[in-house]
Structure 1
Amino acid sequence: MTNVYRTIDHCEQVTEPRAHLKGQFPAHICLYLPSLRGGGAERVMVRLANEFADRGYTVDIVLVEMRGKYLDDVAADVRIIDLDTHRFLAAVPSLVRYLLSARPDVLMSTIDTANVAAIIAEKLSNKDTRIIIRISNTMSAKAEELTHPKHQVVHLTAKLTYPHSDHVIGVSKGVTKDVVKEFGVDPSRASTIYNPVVDESLLAAREEPVDHPWFGSEAGRVILGVGELSEQKGFDTLIRAFSAMDEYPNSRLVILGQGDDRDSLVRLAENLGVANRVDMPGFVANPYAYMSKCDVFVLSSRWEGCPNVLIEALACGAPVVSTNCPSGPREILKNGTIGSLVPVDDIEAMAREITNCLNSALISPRHEERVQTFRLDKVADRYMEVFNNE
């Protein structure tokens, strides 16, 4: 990859912005995050980077560690700067050097550790780079799950630093309201910008074939879940609800994703006697083809920020059932008018609503009007408004 910089000192300041950007702010945008692993936040940052670069801006993606499935998706005209470390605090000196050398107009970070490091680095560099932090989860709900001392330290540090950022972006109204309350952020310096989920590549990818024996066969109706196999995503609830669906004994459940909870979820399916009807094939490069061909898509999360997969499922025309978790699903589904909402961890309600979808939603509309809110070009416009709001 010719656009990768492993030596920060080589990341010179952009002294001559492209002609049509002269006199404009910002001309040089930095997006900072730990890595480009296969998560929703990482995918959003790559999409934004490519869109900003396509509009003519100079764009850097600065990574604590250069790894992840989305590295190959970064456009050739986006610089990738590898800080080459493994700990977020250890990355602060390197990030300071980057700010002093490259002097971007705006640095936007996402994920707690990167947000904290960005604010600290900007203060140490004493430069006038605008620091925008993006919050992708409901922090109060997430805090209840923090038991590891490391996570508690990060959360406490975030409380101390977030009010010192130039602007905070929440990915849903619920997230923005929560971060203002949880971290004492000035409401006048907080905005809501939904995730840029829908673009032409998604619309094309949803039409591709699926390489799985349960799709397009007479084996039974297929229920789909997508996400990291973790406590947050609540796939244990989904498997329990699936096992309770007596009306559809031949239905199948496919869960796309990988994570630490895989073994426990496999054991749960075995204990419930549904292992032969549950498949977890791991990470899939094109989940949209699965979404467009499933009979019901289910979001079973215990907390979220603005769940990309729910928006993607709508864009792919899938009937959806979602937990009413904090935050995002209620906003996305317009209070349940374009999809079913069930209480978090309510196995009976989830089984009932999945069954109702299978009974009634043979063909689902694509909800095109709602999906327009999450188009990449519209979301990028909103980010530029925040970047320009000094």
Structure 2
Amino acid sequence: MVKKSPHIALFLSYLGGGGAERVMLNLAEGIAKQGIQVDLVLGRAWGPHLGKIPSQVKLVDLGARGILGKLWSLSRYLKKKKPLVILSGMHYANEIAIGAKFLSGGSTKIVVSEHNTISRAIQQTSQTRKLLIPILVKYLYPLADSIVAVSQEAAKDLAQFTGLPLEHICSIYNPVISSELQTKSQAAIEHPWFVADDCPIILGVGKLFPQKDFPTLIRAFDLVKKERSARLVILGWGSLRSQLEALVEELGLQEDVAFLGYVQNPYPYMARAATFVLSSAWEGLPTVLIEAMALGTPVISTDCPSGPAEILDSGKYGWLTPVGDSETLAKTILSVLDGQTKKIDPVWLKQFEVETTTKQYLQLFDVK
């Protein structure tokens, strides 16, 4: 029997500006709309997405620092509030959630979620994380009540990485497409390139980190510019901004490339772009690719592990290019700018809707 008033918690170390955090917010809102009490528990209430927490969701700020501080604070929360389920996302939040459950001695179900292709993501971390994460994942994840990966390929990668049986890992796509998406996409944009509408805009969105491989997109844009007039806009923040700006200057593209930083509402930019391009070296299930598709923007993506091939049905609903291949990417962009299109079946997109995914998570939580 399910409790009369089920109480579900979602746990993150902080609320960064990436897609994984955004989909956790979407899921929290989707669950709350079912009349279920939802706490968003943060190790520390910090991050660009803080202003996007849905009004129906209660923010719980543990105010903790460091892994041990968050572990102790979360265990006290679990002991006091006793949620039916706590869903965590990313490292070290997953490991902390498992440890806190055992410290609290309660009956809360622990569900951990992996939002990336872990074997690739770990290569870009510090030496400490490279040593710790494989050990922690291998020995702690099996102690969770359920393990979720955000794509089928990410699940396979996690199984190979940990040695866990694939059948012990559940694949649930990210909750991405909401009823508010179209409304938000109609907001005004003050940037003159979008107001003038006299030159096609290529759009990239993501953290300015190695994973997103924006140098390949910039080099592809340089080749596009040699063939026709176009502009490139990149939304996102990160440590590589100065390096990317240096590459733009080296290629003489300063007048046609704009870095607009973190944008609270990226959807008007997506809706008005001539094409959306994901140049990533690896992913889990890239949220921005789904959002651009849902807004009717032609999408191009590298065929990276993992997610894009599943999202685009192996190229049926968008273009897939080899990772790191700026020449092929440029040719594909040119073909899209010349009018080539791929019609997207609305039924296909339903699997990425917040309502669909919310139901799958509630079934996993055994909340009917």
* TM-score in same-fold range (> 0.5): yes
Q: Which residue of 1 aligns with 2:33?
A: 54
Q: Which residue of 1 aligns with 2:230?
A: 251
Equivalent residues of 1:163, 1:186 under 8 A apart: no
- Select 1:385's aligned residue among 338, 363, 366: 363
Unaligned runs of 5+ in 1: 1-21
Does residue 127 of structure 2 align to residue 145 of structure 1?
no
CA distance in 1, matches of 2:223, 2:324: 14
The letter of the residue matching 1:182 is: F
Q: Which residue of 2 aligns with 1:6?
A: none
Q: Which residue of 1 aligns with 2:243?
A: 264
Going from structure 1 to structure 2, the CA distance change for 1:150 and 1:190 (only over 3 Å counts) comes to closer
Q: Which residue of 2 aligns with 1:238?
A: 217
The runs of 4+ residues in structure 1 deviating greater than 3 Å are 22-26, 246-249, 363-367
Does residue 325 of structure 2 align to residue 346 of structure 1?
yes
Going from structure 1 to structure 2, the CA distance change for 1:218 and 1:119 (only over 3 Å counts) comes to closer
Residue pairs, 1:35-74, within 5 angstroms: 35-74=14-53
Equivalent residues of 2:148, 2:169 under 8 A apart: yes
Q: Deviations over 1:54-86 (max 9, x none)?
A: 211111111111122332332334222111123
CA distance in 2, matches of 1:122, 1:186: 23
Q: Which residue of 2 aligns with 1:174?
A: 153
Does residue 34 of structure 2 align to residue 34 of structure 1?
no
Secondary structure of 2:276 counterpart? strand
Offset, 1:247: 5.1
Does residue 354 of structure 2 align to residue 376 of structure 1?
yes
Offset, 1:151: 4.7
CA distance in 2, matches of 1:202, 1:218: 22
Does residue 80 of structure 2 align to residue 104 of structure 1?
no
CA distance in 2, matches of 1:388, 1:167: 11
Q: Which residue of 1 aligns with 2:335?
A: 356
The letter of the residue matching 2:329 is: M
Q: Deviations over 1:81-102 (max 9, x none)?
A: 1111232332111111111111
Taking structure 1 as the reference length, what is the TM-score of the superposition? 0.90
Secondary structure of 1:163 counterpart? helix
Does residue 201 of structure 2 align to residue 201 of structure 1?
no
Going from structure 1 to structure 2, the CA distance change for 1:162 and 1:249 (only over 3 Å counts) comes to same
Equivalent residues of 1:64, 1:91 under 8 A apart: yes
Which moved further from structure 2: 184-193 or 41-50? 184-193
The letter of the residue matching 2:298 is: P
Equivalent residues of 1:103, 1:129 under 8 A apart: yes
Equivalent residues of 2:123, 2:130 under 8 A apart: no
Q: Which residue of 2 aligns with 1:3?
A: none
Which moved further from structure 2: 266-275 or 186-195? 186-195
Q: Deviations over 1:103-151 (max 9, x none)?
A: 1110100011000111111122222211100110001111233343245
CA distance in 2, matches of 1:132, 1:23: 17
Count of residue correspondences: 368
CA distance in 1, matches of 2:225, 2:255: 16
Equivalent residues of 2:2, 2:366 under 8 A apart: no
Offset, 1:218: 5.2
Q: Which residue of 1 aligns with 2:140?
A: 161
Going from structure 1 to structure 2, the CA distance change for 1:351 and 1:245 (only over 3 Å counts) comes to same
Coordinate RMSD, CA, aligned: 1.9
Does residue 196 of structure 2 align to residue 217 of structure 1?
yes
CA distance in 1, matches of 2:175, 2:24: 9
CA distance in 2, matches of 1:76, 1:150: 35
Offset, 1:207: 2.2
Taking structure 2 as the reference length, what is the TM-score of the superposition? 0.95
Offset, 1:240: 0.7
Offset, 1:25: 7.9
Secondary structure of 2:313 counterpart? coil
Residue pairs, 1:84-99, within 5 angstroms: 84-99=63-78
CA distance in 1, matches of 2:70, 2:327: 46
Question: How many percent of aligned residue pairs carry the same amino acid?
Answer: 39
Equivalent residues of 2:281, 2:304 under 8 A apart: yes
Q: Which residue of 2 aligns with 1:116?
A: 95
The letter of the residue matching 1:206 is: S
Equivalent residues of 2:316, 2:342 under 8 A apart: no
Equivalent residues of 1:26, 1:106 under 8 A apart: no
Does residue 183 of structure 2 align to residue 184 of structure 1?
no
Which moved further from structure 2: 119-128 or 163-172? 119-128
Equivalent residues of 1:318, 1:366 under 8 A apart: no
CA distance in 1, matches of 2:126, 2:166: 29
Secondary structure of 1:32 counterpart? strand
Q: Which residue of 2 aligns with 1:127?
A: 106
CA distance in 1, matches of 2:68, 2:286: 28
